[in-house]
Structures are given as C-alpha cells and as structure tokens.
Amino acid sequence: MPPFNQFKIAVSALLSRSSEQRREVRIDVAVVIEPTSSGQKDVVVRLTREDDAQFLYAARISEDNYGSLRKEQGLGQHWHEFSNFPAMFSGLIEKCASTPEKSDQPKRWMQLTELPKELNGQSSLKMEILQTTEVKPVILLALSFVAATDAQIKDYLTSKLTNLKQKLSLLDKDKKLQLTAAKETIEHLNEKLKTQEVDSNERISALQKEKETALTKVGELERERELLEREVNEKCSECDDLQYEKEQYLKEIDELKSCLLAEKELNRRLQEELDVERSKEEESAARLGDELDGLKVELRKKNLLCINQQREISRLIQLEKDLKHDLKLQEGETQKGVEIIQKMMRRERAAKSEKIRAENDQVSLRDEKLKSMEGEYEAVKADLALVRADLEKLQSENKQLIEKCTVLSTEKEDLSASLRAKNKALADLYHSSRQATALAISPLGPYPIAVHNVSPSYRPVLGLHNPTAATSPPTMLLHHDPVSPISLRGTSTTPSGPIIRPPNRPNV
C-alpha cells in the first residue's frame, strides 16, 4: 500500500433520523490508516460534528472485506486496488465539498441515514454519496458506520481536549511572543515619535520664520505689483492714444493714395495723348525730312558751300542726339542715386546730416555745371541758327526753294510751340504726382514734411533740328534732410552718385 497522509475535511450532508426530519448538517470526515494485530492496515473513516459531542461514527474497511464491497457496489477499475481506496474516497469527499450550488457540472452530495438499532442497542448510520443525472440521482458509494461506545467517545473527547490544550498553549506562546514584539515595537515607535516631535517642533519654528519672511516679501511684491499695474495702465492709455493717431494717419494715407491713383490715371491719359501727338509729329517730321532732303539735293547741285553747311547741320544733329543720350544716362544715374539715397535713409538716418551738407555742396556744383552745359547747348543752338541763316541766304537764289523753306520754318515753329506747351504741362503733372507720392510714403510721426521746389534753372531741352524730339519731364528725387524726414527735389540735386559732366563742345 502506498503511503497516505491523514485526511480530514468538513462537508455539508443531509442527515435523516427517525425522530427528526431531514436536515442539512456540517460533518467532519476524517480518514486514517490504522495497523492491525495481524500486520495488515485498515482504513478507518470517522464522522463527527462540532455541535454534537456524542455524534461519533466509524467505518473500518479491511483488505479482506474490500473485495466484496467493490463487487456489491460495482465500483470501477480505479477502485480495483485496496491501496487506491483512501485517495479515491478522499477525492470523492472533496468533490462533494467543492461542488457549487449553481453549476453546469453534475452535483455531488452526501446523505446520512440513521438505521434502526441492533439487538445489542448499538446504533448505526449509512452514508451515501450521490450524483445528479438527467434521470435520477445515482449512488456513487455507500458505507455503513457504527456508533462509538461511551468509552470510545470519552477517549475521542479526551484526545480532542488534549489537542485543544496543546493548540491553546501554542497559541499562548505565540500571543506572548507577539505581545513582546508589539511592546518592543511600541517602545521603538514611542522613541521615534519623540524624535519626530522634536524635529517637528524645530521644523515648525523654522517654517514660522519662513512664513514671516514670506509675508514680508509678499507685502513688497504686492507694492511692486501695484506700481506695475499703474505703469501698465499708463502704458495702455499711451497705446490707445498711439492707436488713435495711427488710425488717423492711416485714413490720411488712404486719402493720399486715392488722390495718387487719380493723378496716375490722369498722367496715363495725358501720356497716351502725348504718344498720339508724338506719332503724328514724327510722321510730319518724316515728311518734312523727305522734303528737306529734296531741297538738300537741289542745294547741293547749286553750291558746294551749301553741301558743306548741310554736313555741318548733320553733325550738329548728331551732337544733339549725343546730348540727349547723355541726358538719358544722367536720368538713369539719377534714378540709381534715388535708390541709393533711399537705402541710406533707412540705414544711416541718424548720422546723415554732415554727409548731406557735403552732398548739397556737390549738388550746387552740379547745378552750376548743368547751367554751364545748358549755356553751351544754347550756344550750339545759336551756331545752328547762324548756319540756318546762311542756308536761307543761299536759298534766296531760288524763289521756289525760299517759299518752301518759309513754309517749313512756319510748321517747325508751330510744332515747337506745341511741344513746349505739352512739355510744361507734363512737367507740372510730374511735379504734382511726385509730391503726392512723397506724402504717401512719408513715415508716421510728428515730423513735418518739407517739399522743395524744382530747381528754377532746370528747363526741358528741345530738339535742335528735329522739331518732334520728345522731352523728358523732371525726375523727382527723394532726398534726406536732417530737419524733415523726406524732401522732394528735382533732377538737379543728386546727393550721391557720380556727377555727370556734359561732353566737350565741338568747335563750330
């Protein structure tokens, strides 16, 4: 037989007695193996109750009667060996104790039935372990138990009392040990509590000092906050004023922009009209040039001097073109100077006053040079007039040629007068549009805007020989002034950039 440990478990069972109705009770089932005098070992199963000391039943199963028990109840192959009985029985009892009330598994339970007393007056008990099926409950195992005698009950109670005393003594020892450990723990905790109390008092005093310091700092911060709030309110009021001024300036800028757009539209229309008139005048000039070429051919045939004079006229015309080209280059360089001045205004506005004085000196020098250049130009025109006078004297030899030259001169004067009038109107228009542009791009602020008039020495240059030569309007230049942020000047003032010198006047 393999070794088997002692087994004991409490399980619910249905108890049926003749004097009582069936009721559910709590039964303690103990399985032990006891040796016999013959050297064999019997399996003893005892049933007891905690609430009834007289309830003691025992069933002894030996190896000899186990075979008949197995055959009578039809136990399976697992129950074939007697050595397997204690373990199989213990497992069956555990399943009875562990099967829940509500479960899908088959329910197992224990049922105890008290049998009638025998002749010797000893009562017996039948234990049945049942399992539910779909048809009816099935008995898995049935054992008969015999009630213990008074001496056996007394021995059982004595052994139980002895066990209880031993357990009680062990519990007393454990309680004493736990009490001693608890006292030591309490003493240690008391010492720790005293130490923590001292530390807490020191910490409280330190925190009290920190609190007083913090309250002092809070008062100072509160005063600083009030000062900052007043400053913020003042700044907010200043911001509101600045915002109002900004809105006013923006409104003025919008108005100036609308005026500038209207001026630009008018300028565009005048430019279109000027282009149309210029094309017509170019056609007239081409026609007059053709007629003049015919006259030149006739005059060349008549007199060699007329040919030389005509060559001189061509050379003067080329000189006029060169002068126009130089003026265009001067305008381009002036425009570059405008861009350079605008960049210098953004970068070096604070340190510009001395440099501007020097540049103004250069501008005055340039004005003088431009005046001398215009004087030379007028001299060239005078020379050209003398040449034309000589040409008219030569043309007087032929009446027909004189009449044609007279007609051509009259047409040329009319064209020159119309060009001068348009030139003046275009210059006035450019002057007004540049003033509006300067007002629109002026920075916001309490600074005045100074507007400088166009230099009176400037006047548009008309063509010497070609009466339809286009004239360029004066170019407005943004010039930095230490008093006012923006000044408007004509092309005669270029603070920075090279000074354009007129070409040497050829000898006539």
Q: How far apart are CA 455 and CA 311, in angstroms?
A: 36
Q: How far apart are CA 457 and CA 490, in angstroms?
A: 10
Instruction: Tell me the mean pLDDT in the region 433-454.
Output: 54
Greater model confidence, 455 or 76: 76
Q: Find all residues with CB under 8 Å of 396, minimum gap 6, and list them.
A: 402
Residue 352 above 80 pLDDT?
A: no
Q: Which two tokens stand for residue 119?
A: 């002749």
Residue 434 above 80 pLDDT?
A: no
Question: Quick check: 478 and 348 in contact, CB under 8 A?
Answer: no
pLDDT band at 454 (very low <50, low <70, confident <90, very high): very low
Residue 439 above 80 pLDDT?
A: no
Residue 179 above 90 pLDDT?
A: yes
| Range from 230-244, 312-326, 463-477 carrying the lowest mean pLDDT | 463-477
Reported as a single tens digit per residue, the pLDDT across 204-243 is 999 999 999 999 999 999 999 999 999 999 999 999 999 9
| Range from 84-88, 144-148, 462-466 carrying the lowest mean pLDDT | 462-466
Greater model confidence, 495 or 359: 359
Q: Which two tokens stand for residue 305?
A: 């001097």
Instruction: Tell me the mean pLDDT in the region 156-167.
Output: 89
pLDDT band at 173 (very low <50, low <70, confident <90, very high): very high
Instruction: Tell me the mean pLDDT in the region 88-95.
Output: 86
The residue extents of the domains of the chain are 7-148, 252-489
Ranked by mean pLDDT, the top range of 267-276, 308-317, 384-393, 412-421 is: 267-276
Mean pLDDT across the chain:
78
Instruction: Tell me the mean pLDDT in the region 346-371.
Output: 76
Q: How far apart are CA 43 and CA 141, in angstroms?
A: 15
Greater model confidence, 324 or 465: 324
pLDDT band at 445 (very low <50, low <70, confident <90, very high): very low
Residue 468 above 70 pLDDT?
A: no
Question: Quick check: 366 and 494 in contact, CB under 8 A?
Answer: yes
pLDDT band at 330 (very low <50, low <70, confident <90, very high): confident
Instruction: Tell me the mean pLDDT in the region 364-374.
Output: 80
Greater model confidence, 46 or 7: 46
User: Based on C-alpha coordinates, what's the Rg of the chain?
Assistant: 67
pLDDT band at 491 (very low <50, low <70, confident <90, very high): very low
Q: Find all residues with CB under 8 Å of 282, minimum gap 6, and list them.
A: 468
Is 490 in a helix, a strand, or coil?
coil
Q: Which amino acid is at 368?
A: E
Q: How far apart are CA 292 and CA 290, in angstroms?
A: 5
Instruction: Tell me the mean pLDDT in the region 306-331.
Output: 81
Region of 132 (left: φ > 0; alpha: ψ -120 to 50; beta: rest) is beta
Reported as a single tens digit per residue, the pLDDT across 96-111 is 877 666 555 667 888 8
Q: How far apart are CA 240 and CA 234, in angstroms?
A: 10
pLDDT band at 120 (very low <50, low <70, confident <90, very high): low
| Range from 218-232, 307-321, 341-355 carrying the lowest mean pLDDT | 341-355
pTM over 0.85: no
What is the pairing mode between strands 7-16 and 108-115? parallel
Ranked by mean pLDDT, the top range of 110-114, 342-346, 495-499 is: 110-114
| Range from 294-303, 304-313, 334-343, 446-455 carrying the lowest mean pLDDT | 446-455
CA distances (Å), 27 to each of 50, 68, 176, in order? 8, 27, 34
Q: How far apart are CA 145 and CA 239, in angstroms?
A: 108
- pLDDT for 175: 93
Taking residue 446's Cβ as centre, other Cβ atoms within 10 Å add up to 5
Q: How far apart are CA 258 and CA 252, in angstroms?
A: 10
Residue 507 above 50 pLDDT?
A: no
Asked: is 7-148 a CATH 2.170.210.20 domain? The reply is yes
Segment holding 451, helix H or strand E: none
